[in-house]
Structure 1
Amino acid sequence: MRVVVNAATSADGKLSSKRREQIAISGPDDFDRVDALRAGSDAVMVGVGTVLADDPHLTLDDPDRQVARRERDVTAHPARVVADSRARTPTDARILDDEATTYVFVAEAAPTERIESLEAAGARLVTAGEERVDLSSALSSLEREGVEQLMVEGGGELIFSLFDSGLVDELRLFVGSKLIGGRDAPTLADGEGFVADFPELELEDVERVDDGVLLRYAVE
């Protein structure tokens, strides 16, 4: 499986404000680029924090891309994936509608009643890890379902965990011309942070998009 992390940050590396509210960092050209990347992926993944903060839909915007996927004999929208150790995803979240298949990764410690509620709401549950989701094991399960390219859209805790587990192949980062600030505002890679064995990135491409730049890195 190829794992591609895609994110947009402010010039000072923030994903959103300290209120963790969704902020428009990029513009229409980048939105279209993200939609195209989704269309070329088998599944799109976020952490539960993103679901709770933004209630994303994670489906394709462009009808032509939906048609093109059907012509390739795949579903109109890629599958959706939530990393959610404690099964906190609301049962009325937009990500659980019937537009696409949705997998929810949970840990063994997740409350049984929450798991049952999510299954009743249509989610496909994948249990991996005891207290926290074992991402390596969970992604292996997803690969067995036929997912060859996984696009990861955030947030910072999930992105850090994927890098920490050595699971990321590529980073596509849009850096916008906006300053957000705030020591409590989420960054691209939150979590515990690295103090040694820092992930090494190789810059492969730089492109101006909207009023910002798109950086494409390979992960060594």
Structure 2
Amino acid sequence: MHVVVNAATSADGKLSSRRREQIAISGDEDFARVDRLRADSDAVVVGVGTVLADDPHLTVKDDTLRTERREADRSANPARVVVDSTARTPPDAAILDDAASTYVCVTEAAPVDRRADLADHATLVTAGDDRVDLLRAFAALEEQGLDRIMVEGGGELIFSLFAAGLVDELRTFVGPTVIGGRDAPTLADGEGFVEEFPTLELESVDRLDDGALLTWRVEA
């Protein structure tokens, strides 16, 4: 399995404002790049916080890219995956539509009635007691043939994936704006590292729109 974390941040490293509202960070060039990355992936992963805040579809937007996937004997869109320890994903969330298959990773602690509601719309992956065990969950996804994984946030999930040693590559578009705010979400939130920090090797820097795309390889 190859896991790529992709994110767009402000120049000061924020994903959005302290109100958790989407901010226009990327431009057309970066949107096209992200669409290509989705099209090249087997699955797109987000945390439940992203679902609740943005209600994303996480589908491929470009008709040509969807056609390329079909011609390669793949579904038009990659699978969608929500990491959702307590099954908070609304049954009417856009990510549960019929545009692609969806997996929701939950725990044993998730209320039975919520799990039952979600099971009508998605494949449930139960991994962990109170918090999703990402190693087990991603192993289960790999068993489903999902080998190339794109992670689109948010910061809590991204930190947890780094902590679990599951990230192979980090692609960050840094946009030309400053958001600020001590409570605004960053690329990697969560508890934070205090020792044994992940080490990255910078592979490339490319100018896109009025910002820069940084591509990093995560060293083992």
User: TM-score over 0.5 for the alignment?
Assistant: yes
Match of 2:28 in 1: 28
Q: CA deviation at 1:137?
A: 0.4
Match of 1:125 in 2: 124
Q: CA deviation at 1:22?
A: 1.0
Q: CA deviation at 1:118?
A: 0.5
Match of 1:185 in 2: 184
Q: CA deviation at 1:71?
A: 0.5
1:31-180 aligned within 5 A = 31-120=31-120, 122-180=121-179
Does 2:211 align with 1:209?
A: no
Distance 1:136 1:161 in 2: 10
RMSD over equivalenced CA pairs, Å: 0.4
Distance 1:14 1:127 in 2: 31
Q: CA deviation at 1:143?
A: 0.3
- Indicate the percent of aligned positions where both proteins have the same amino acid: 70
- Cα-to-partner distance string for 1:16-68 (whole Å, 9 max, x where unaligned): 00000111101000000000000000000000000000000000000111010
Distance 2:133 2:70 in 1: 32
Letter in 2 for 1:154: G
Letter in 2 for 1:218: R
Distance 2:152 2:137 in 1: 17
Distance 2:146 2:102 in 1: 13
Q: Would you identify which runs of 4 or more consecutive aligned residues in structure 1 move more than 3 Å? A: none
Unaligned stretches of 5+ in structure 1?
Answer: none
Does 2:199 align with 1:197?
A: no
Unaligned stretches of 5+ in structure 2?
Answer: none
**Pairs aligned (count):** 219
- Cα-to-partner distance string for 1:78-126 (whole Å, 9 max, x where unaligned): 0000000000001110000000000000011000000000112x11100
Q: Secondary structure at the match of 1:105?
A: strand
Letter in 2 for 1:101: S
Q: Secondary structure at the match of 2:90?
A: coil
- Cα-to-partner distance string for 1:175-219 (whole Å, 9 max, x where unaligned): 001000000000000000000000000000000000100000000
Letter in 2 for 1:2: H
Q: CA deviation at 1:162?
A: 0.1
Q: Secondary structure at the match of 2:201?
A: strand
Distance 1:113 1:23 in 2: 35
Distance 2:210 2:107 in 1: 41
Q: Secondary structure at the match of 2:139?
A: helix
Distance 1:189 1:26 in 2: 19
Match of 2:16 in 1: 16
Distance 2:30 2:167 in 1: 21
Distance 1:98 1:138 in 2: 22
Q: Secondary structure at the match of 1:77?
A: coil
Distance 2:167 2:14 in 1: 20
Normalised by the size of structure 2, how large is the TM-score?
0.99
Letter in 1 for 2:32: D
Q: Secondary structure at the match of 2:38?
A: helix
